[in-house]
Each structure stands twice: as C-alpha cells, then as structure tokens.
Amino acid sequence: MTISRQLMKSAAVAFATLAASSGTALAGGEVVYANGVRQVGAAVPVPVPVPVPEVSTGWYFRVDAAYSQGDVSKYRSTDPYVDSFRADSYLENFPRYGFGFGYYFNKNLRGDITLDQRNDAESRGRGIRDYTVANTAGGTNSTIALRDTYSDTFITSNATVLANLYADLPVNDRFTPYIGGGIGFVRHQLKGRDFSRATTCIDTVDCNPATAGDQAGDTVLNSTAATTAGGINYQLAAALMAGFSYKFWDNTKLDLGYRWLYLQGASYAGRSLTTVENLKIPDQNIHEVRVGLRYEIN
C-alpha cells in the first residue's frame, strides 16, 4: 500500500511539471497552467521605440521690412551750377521692403536669395546764377548783367538682388543668433527728368543793346527746357548681416537684425539744355535695421 501511494505521488508531481511546461505565456509574462492556477513568470522584453525624425524639405520663405540710413545727401551732376543748389529728399533715410526664398543645409548653415525695393525718391533743384556777357551789338554799356534761374526735378528708385549665406549659432530650440554676408547687384532706375533754365536781364543800364539807354530790367530774354527720358543702370551690391531669430510657432520665426549694404553708384547720360551732361548717383553705404518673418515649408 505504501508503494502504491508513492507511485501515485510521483505521478502527480510529474503531471504537474508537464502541465507547467505546456502552459501559455501572456504578453506581460503571465503563465496560465492547465489546472487553472496563474503564476507570474519573466516578462517578455519589448523593443525600445525608435524615434521617427521630422521630415522637412529645408526650404523657407521670408518677408522683410527695413529702416535705412544712407551716407548720400544729394546726387551729383556735371553741370557746375546744378550741384550747388540741389535739395534731395528721402536719400538719407528711407524704408525698404523685400522677400526671398532660402534653404537650410543643416542646423548651422543656410542660404537665401532676396529682393529688396526702395521707395521712389524725388530730387529737386532750384537756384540762380548771376553773370555778365559782352555787349557786342552796341548800346550804352559794354556788358550786360544777366540772371539764369534753374529748375531740375527727377525721381529715382532702386532694387537690390542678393545671394546670401548665413552661419546659425543656435542657443536652444527657439533662440538662434546668426551672422552672414551677401553679394549681388542693384538696379538703379531714373524715372524721367525735367530740367529748365530761364534767362532774364537784370542790368539797370542797358538790357537791350539794340536801343541805347534802355533800362527795362528783368526783361525775359529766353526760356528753354529739356526733358530726359528715364534710364536703368545695373551695378554691384554687397552686404554683411548680424542678428537673431526666435521661433514662436512650429514653422515660423521672427528675424531681427542689422545689415550694412553697399551699392555701387551709377551715371545717366542726359541733356542740360543744349549741352550733354551726366547725372551721377554716388556709391552708397547704407545701414539698416531689419525685421522680418521666416516661414519654414515642411
């Protein structure tokens, strides 16, 4: 009888072991045995999720506005009398607007192509010149005193195209200082010019050599005018920039910075009444405070 009990006990242990080995493993390492008893086993290892990188084309679009201060107070002309009285407006301080497209090569390097436009600037010249001419036709005195009154008006504008390269120096995910430089061309445009001269006699003795003793002062002797059509001139442009950007939306950054802009001057062949003269736009060094938005195209 004792032997039978031992055989039955051994069979029960063997059966239980077989049932344990044939149990089903659940996802959390839980094992269910055939006799309904649940026991917790070792957890099945789960692979660590691999982060999926954000896909971006690297392209961005930008719009900018600037307050500009230049070092040119007036234009120049080869006419010796015009330059002495010209009064130019909006040449030293003026706004500039622009837009462009760019590409992020990596987190530290990007480039873009920008187009900026300056508002029209009107230049007005007013002045007088007193002089004498020989009285070759006879009359009371040997010379006649004359006065020329000049008037000169024209409008100019310019557009700048630059290819720029920047070094970004990110501090964190939102704040990124940068430095950069660019090179390209400026398109100077002269939008027509009106130049006139009126000559009057201011001699108190003799204004008409054909009549001795004539004292009709301020008699208009002649009045002439010349109009020059507009013209376009392309010259070198270059720039150096420094500033920072701040990301306030996922795809949008505020850009605030300084730009030094060099514009090579231009010359327009014109006509000052009966003689040929040139209107000269000198080289310009422009300092700009710029603000803009950059929208990243994903």
pLDDT tens digits along 134-175: 877 666 677 888 888 888 888 888 999 999 999 999 999 899
Q: In terms of Cα–Cα distance, which of 125, 257, 252, 131 is closest to 195? A: 125
SS3 call for 218:
coil
SS3 track for 164-177:
EEEEECCCCCCEEE
d(CA 178, CA 91): 29
What pLDDT, on the 0 to 100 scale, is given for residue 158? 92
Has residue 188 got a pLDDT over 70? Answer: yes
Q: In terms of Cα–Cα distance, which of 90, 261, 124 is closest to 184? A: 261
pLDDT category at 191 given cuts 50, 70, 90 is: confident
Has residue 19 got a pLDDT over 50? Answer: no
Question: How much of the chain, in percent, has pLDDT values that exceed 90?
Answer: 35
Has residue 11 got a pLDDT over 60? Answer: no
Q: What tokens appear for 158 in the block?
A: 């310019």
Alpha-carbon torsion (253, 113, 232, 264), positive or negative: positive
Q: What is the pTM of this model?
A: 0.69
Q: What is the enclosing helix (H) or strand (E) of 245?
A: strand 231-247
Which amino acid is residue 282, in one-letter code? Answer: P
